[in-house]
Amino acid sequence: MTPSAPGSLVARAHPFTSLTVTLAVVVLAFLLPASIGPVVLALLAIAVAAVVGDPASLTPSLIIVVPLWLLLLLVQGVLGDAPFTTWGPLTLSIGGLDEALAQGARLTAIVVASMLALRGFRASRFVDAAAERRWPFSAAYLVAATLQTIPRLRQRVTLIRDAQRSRGLRVQGSIVQRVTALVPLTLPLILGALADTDDRAVALEGRAIAAVTAPGARRTPLAPPVDTVVDRVVRWGSVLAVAVAIIWRITR
């Protein structure tokens, strides 16, 4: 995955801010009243990404959500109950379309926010931020390693695909050919990921990891990110928004 530009807002933000906002968007997408709530949330996420965040993150987000939107509109619109409306040659359920709008908006908000956070994520900054807050290193490493899983798998997929193609595997063509090619692609991917875990453990052991995982030990943050007032306001604002939404859901 291509990281966002170093100067972009999401790359400059404190790592805890972008992760908090993303988690808040995921929760709010399901708490806010459908379909207006998720739609506003999705538009807000797109606006942030386009205007002040990382506009390039919208392309991979669209690649993910556009097929899902089409699928939702088709399934919900065709299979939904009366009343119906007519769109050209199609007769679609109004209730189904409304449901598709809510679900599509939820997915869009979550995907756009996650993509923005993932592209802006820097493992070293996150680990430094965690060390600054005296988080246990193992917890920080777990989060950092998890968020790096997708880019690592993408790199590995490219290597495996190239290696298998050089052995004559055809990864393009008909649907049958593509499905057939999945097995020789996914099996090395899974086995390689497992082996990677072992190798990583040996690498970390040789790099004094035992010192920092001992009780009371603290890793030196090399370049701790600055936690600005804006960062803190955005984080607490996100938490507040989730809290208000939860209270609204309980009391309505």
Partner 1 sequence: MTVRFDGVSFSYPGTDAPALRDLSCVFVAGQVTWLFGKLGAGSSTALLVAGGLAPILTGGRRTGSVRIGELDPGDVANRAALAGRIGYVSAQPHLQLSGLAETVFDEVAFAPANLGWERGRIGTAVLHALARVGAGHLVDRVPTELSGGELQRVVLAAMLVLAPKVWLLDEPASALDPAARAGAYALFREEARRGAAVVIATEDADGVLEVADRIIVLERGQVAVDGVPAEVLGSDACWALGVGSTTVGALWRAAAERVPAMADDGVPLTLEAAAAKVMQA
The stretch near partner 1 (CB under 8 A) out of 53-61, 76-84, 92-100, 214-222 is 214-222
Q: Which is nearer to partner 1, 139 or 210 (CB)?
A: 210
Counting beta carbons within 10 angstroms of the beta carbon of residue 103, is it exposed (0 to 12), middle (13 to 18) or buried (19 or more)?
buried
Q: Which is nearer to partner 1, 180 or 213 (CB)?
A: 213
- Residue 127 makes contact with partner 1 by CB under 8 A: yes
- Residue 246 makes contact with partner 1 by CB under 8 A: no
| CB of 203 vs partner 1, minimal distance in Å | 5
| CB of 205 vs partner 1, minimal distance in Å | 6
Would you say 171 and 165 are in contact if contact means Cβ atoms under 8 Å apart?
yes
| CB of 55 vs partner 1, minimal distance in Å | 22
Give the residue from 211, 166, 34 showing the smallest Cα distance to 109.
Answer: 34
Give the residue from 151, 153, 159 showing the smallest Cα distance to 123.
Answer: 151
Q: Which is nearer to partner 1, 125 or 235 (CB)?
A: 125
The stretch near partner 1 (CB under 8 A) out of 22-30, 88-96, 110-118, 121-129 is 121-129
Listed in sequence order, the residues at least 6 apart from 200 whose beta carbon sits closer than 8 Å to its beta carbon are none
Peptide bond into 35 cis (omega under 30): yes
Give the residue from 109, 62, 99 showing the smallest Cα distance to 77.
Answer: 99
In the complex, the residues that contact partner 1 under the rule CB under 8 A are: 122-124, 127, 131, 137, 141, 144-145, 148, 198-214, 217-222
